[in-house]
Chains A and B, each alone.
Chain A
Amino acid sequence: MPDLLWFVLRRLFATVLVMLALSLAVYLIFYALPADPARLACGKPCTPDRLEQARHFMQLDQSVIQQYLAFLKGIFAGRTFGEGAAAVQCNAPCFGYSFPLARPVTTLIVDRLPVTLSIAIGAAVLWLLLGVTLGVGAALKRGKLFDRLAVGFALIGIATPSFLLGLLAILVFGFWLNMVPVNGYVPLTESPVDWAWHLITPWLVLATIQAAAYIRLTRAQMLEEMNLDHITTARAKGAGERRVVAVHGLRGVLVPIVTIFGLDLGALLGGAILTEKVFSMQGLGELLISAVGQLDVAVVVGVTLFSAFLVILANLVVDVVHGVLDPRVGHA
């Protein structure tokens, strides 16, 4: 295992570097904007004096690099805007402070995150299960009815935008059949049953869309895998067909699936953002979109960086899982 440990440490180091570079780039891009957030915050009538005051308070009068360093420090140690009685405290980890909403960005994110994460994680679990089982099934029943149905299902999933399928699901299951709630989010802590009940349609919708690609991938990979010599070896050893598939065939299929899953994490977040809009849930996407509308740069930068960090960290986890699954990784 020391090989794997080194592999993880190297990856962790690279990840931190990537995050730093990314945050700097984001800062440089977003704080070069022509619109002045201070002007919006200063109210009417906005005298030059008050504008200057607001700018100083929001620390917009510093250079971009200074602002960036202050931002970085805020993540680890928190920061304070303004002085004296009017001072605003933003505790670590501080991803900025939204003056229009008068709240730390971290708090805003923490409020919205459960919604987006609930959608994303539930859908990911479901789509992996769906994609892998249907894909394996299609491969084993190649050319039969099940295979054709699975491949057809995959095509529909690939060709349908998630928000369209979401609306269709709402129309059919929510409105016509009146089976499931069509919108709103119930926190897990409030009622796990209601939480799941409200999320079941979003999960299914997002899972169907994404599972499609995984069905195709798993099917192709499984067909290839089952033709390999080591599968014949397993049979020649006296392994039953079920064991051959589950222990020997599937293992080789999981490795590329995990790789692809790592690449799809960004798309997963995007899918969750679209889905939360379809089902009128107030998640990260809604926070971001309204912040863009209100020129609330602090929130936009905070949410953007936070989502990127989330995906990068999740990628790190995927990499480690990959390293565990494939003994050849980490030796190269």
Chain B
Amino acid sequence: MPDQTANNQGATHYNGSPRPVLEVADLHVTFKTEGGLVPAVSGIDFSVAPGKTLAIVGESGSGKSVSSAAVMGLLPPNAEVTGEVLLDGRELIGLSSEELRRIRGNDIALVFQDALSALNPYYSVGWQVAEAYRLHHDVSKKEALKRAVRMLDLVGIPSAEQRAKAYPHEFSGGMRQRVVIAMALVNDPKVLIADEPTTALDVTVQAQIMRLLEDVQAEFGTALVLISHDLGVVAEVADDVLVMYAGRAAERGSVKDLFHRAAHPYSLGLLGAMPRVDLPPRPRLATIPGSPPSPGSITTGCPFQPRCAYAHLVGERCITERPELTPRPGEGYHEAACHLGRRPEVML
């Protein structure tokens, strides 16, 4: 049964899951630069409930990483953020820097793409995990370190007590990413944002890290926002998916909606660009022709129109009118922003 109240707030959540812990509504991010105002995110909504996973997918430059940084309040001073970011119903936008500081790393934590550069090379990993704990808990260094060792052990670092004294460069890529995850989880956050957490890793290690994330999520009931361009990973772990294009939502819905009933040509393109083992091999991997528009360069019409293979089926409207998210058939909350009313035929 869909939750009516949440629906009315504008920050929809899908699948009839429990009340979302993080709700983002009408988020806009604009950068003030010497060349004028550059919009990076132009009004997106998403929400995620405890224990659930929301995947945000899109090409680089689509605004997915900027959105997560905006939620964390980590954007540089020249970024202007408007909209609503509700954590457990509490508005985060407009909080003082000290109030935000207390939330960062405590209620919302971040896992970065490149663990080597995300860790400080000059401090031992134990120290760095313990620091994250001490920033939010009034405990002695020794207690914090104990907690850090426990976390390192939990994320699967062998002989964590000794390894805690080691420095980031003394770990393998996969082990480093485990350290980063331990650091993010040390304060038992309600929301974990993972920004391409496995991109820098070997395929086998990727799977291990994703399993680890699933495990801790199951154990702590953490809401996970997974930012990725790897649809294979998304299909495996996500409950809901938000497809972003040029700073806007192109399509969103449950993972099934996306993979079985994709309604936006861009989503289809992404699916086509994904290597599949369950289909007979095609002569070459499909790609989406062209490249994403630079931020702010498209002011009217559909931002995907120049690259869209279906635009001719709709005609003029794609150039003059910006498509809004409209309901599509599916598990209830499937929406797409495309003038093509029906599901596009797959063209190969």
Contact = CB atoms under 8 A, between A and B. Distances in A.
B98 A233 contact: no
Interface in B78-104: 97-98, 101-104
Interface in B90-137: 97-98, 101-106, 109-110, 112, 114, 117-124, 131-132, 135-136
Contacts of B119: 230, 233
B207 interface: no
B74 interface: yes
Given A229-B114, A230-B117, A236 B72 contact: yes
A129 interface: no
B167 interface: yes
Interface string A214-243: 000000000000001110111111111101
B169 interface: yes
Contact of A236 (B98, B109, B123): B109
B29 interface: no
Given A230-B118, A237-B105, A328 B169 contact: yes
Secondary structure at the A interface, as helix, strand, loop or mixed, is: helix
Secondary structure at the B interface, as helix, strand, loop or mixed, is: mixed
Given A229-B112, A230-B117, A235-B74, A326 B122 contact: yes
B41 interface: no
B164 interface: no
B131 A239 contact: yes
B122 A251 contact: yes
B120 A236 contact: no
Given A248-B120, A251-B120, A327 B167 contact: yes
A323 to B, nearest CB: 12
Contacts of A248: 120
B118 to A, nearest CB: 5
Contacts of B122: 251-252, 255, 325-327
Contact of B101 (A229, A233, A238): A238
Interface in A315-332: 325-328, 331
Contacts of A251: 120, 122-123
Contacts of B234: none
B104 A230 contact: no
B120 A234 contact: yes
A238 B114 CA distance: 19
Given A229-B112, A327-B121, A327-B122, A236 B104 contact: yes
A252 B101 CA distance: 23
Given A228-B117, A233-B119, A240 B98 contact: yes
Nearest to A236: B110
B183 interface: yes
A331 B169 CA distance: 10
Given A230-B118, A237-B105, A328 B110 contact: no
Contacts of A232: 74, 112, 118
Nearest to A231: B120
A248 B117 CA distance: 13
Interface residues of A, number: 23
A325 B112 CA distance: 25
Interface in A225-279: 228-230, 232-241, 243, 248, 251-252, 255
A295 to B, nearest CB: 52
Contacts of B114: 229
Interface string B3-21: 0000000000000000000
Interface in B283-319: none
Interface in B145-184: 167, 169-170, 180, 183
Contacts of A233: 110, 112, 118-120, 180, 183
B120 A238 contact: no
A149 B114 CA distance: 37
Contacts of A239: 101, 105, 131, 135
A328 B167 contact: yes
Instruction: Pick from A235, A325, A328 the residue with the most CB of B within 10 Å.
Output: A235
A185 to B, nearest CB: 40
B72 to A, nearest CB: 6
Contacts of A238: 101-106, 132, 135-136
A233 B119 CA distance: 7
Instruction: Pick from A229, A251, A326 the residue with the most CB of B within 10 Å.
Output: A229
A255 B136 CA distance: 29
The 5 closest A-B pairs by CB, nearest first: A238-B105, A237-B105, A229-B117, A236-B110, A238-B104
19 contacts: A229-B117, A229-B118, A230-B118, A233-B112, A233-B118, A234-B120, A236-B104, A236-B105, A236-B110, A237-B104, A237-B109, A238-B136, A239-B101, A239-B135, A243-B135, A251-B120, A326-B122, A327-B121, A331-B169
